[in-house]
């Protein structure tokens, strides 16, 4: 069963605990916002689709002085779809590097081995990118504007820093 990155990220947020759409938007802003920042309307559009596809279920919860709210929780099928996504290693995911980080963030829904595999794949992507950047830097002509070099060195520094993070993440696991 295929699902979009947004659907999978919402599944990951719901997997932690049953939540309303409002709760999910608040948590996304605090937890995944630096990786994946959906609008509240995106979340509200995704939730009924997840229910329709049997990946989540909703329950109306009465509130005093306010309209009822729907609280969502994963079904066994939704949990399996999330786990399978986390365990599926893509060398270059269509959503880019943030997909690795989302899968790592939601690693609690799979095995530590699945998270290690995601970190290893992310490391390989970073190493490929770093090699490209370093070749580009070595091949810059003498008259290349300094701005190109500054931007390129940002990419190099960021790749190296993220590789150091991967070392630390592997030790923590």
User: Would the pTM of this model clear 0.85, i.e. be above it?
Assistant: yes
CATH code assigned at 15: 1.10.10.10
The answer to the question of residue 117 being in a domain is yes
Q: Is residue 74 located within the same domain as residue 131? A: no
Q: What is the mean pLDDT of residues 111-134?
A: 96
Range of the domain at 25: 1-89
Domains contained in the chain, number: 2
- Distance (Å, whole) CA 122 – CA 15: 23
Burial class (CB in 10 A: 0-12, 13-18, 19+), 33: exposed
Q: Using one digit for the tens of pLDDT, what is the confidence trace for 100-120?
A: 999 999 999 999 999 999 999
Final residue in a domain of this structure, among 38, 58, 89: 89
Q: Using one digit for the tens of pLDDT, what is the confidence trace for 49-105?
A: 999 999 999 998 888 888 888 999 999 999 999 999 999 999 999 888 999 999 999
Alpha helices in 17-92 (DSSP H): 21-31, 40-52, 76-87
| DSSP three-state, residue 66 | strand
The answer to the question of residue 25 being in a domain is yes
Q: What is the mean pLDDT of residues 37-41?
A: 79
Q: Is residue 63 located within the same domain as residue 141? A: no
The answer to the question of residue 124 being in a domain is yes
- Distance (Å, whole) CA 161 – CA 146: 22
Q: Is residue 82 located within the same domain as residue 2? A: yes
């Amino acid at each position: 069963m295929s699902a979009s990155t947004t659907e999978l990220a919402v599944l990951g947020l719901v997997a932690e605990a049953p939540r309303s759409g409002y709760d999910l938007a608040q948590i996304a802003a605090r937890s995944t916002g630096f990786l994946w920042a959906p609008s509240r309307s995106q979340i509200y559009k995704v939730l009924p689709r997840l229910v329709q596809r049997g990946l989540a279920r909703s329950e109306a919860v009465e509130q005093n002085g306010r309209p009822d709210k729907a609280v969502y929780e994963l079904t066994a099928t939704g949990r399996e779809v999330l786990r399978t996504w986390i365990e599926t290693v893509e060398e270059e995911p269509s959503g880019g590097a943030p997909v690795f980080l989302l899968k790592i963030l939601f690693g609690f829904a799979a095995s530590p081995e699945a998270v290690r595999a995601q970190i290893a794949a992310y490391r390989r992507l970073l190493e490929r990118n770093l090699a490209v950047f370093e070749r580009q830097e070595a091949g810059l002509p003498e008259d290349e504007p300094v701005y190109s070099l500054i931007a390129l060195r940002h990419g190099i520094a960021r790749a190296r820093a993220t590789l150091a993070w991967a070392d630390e993440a592997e030790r923590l696991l």
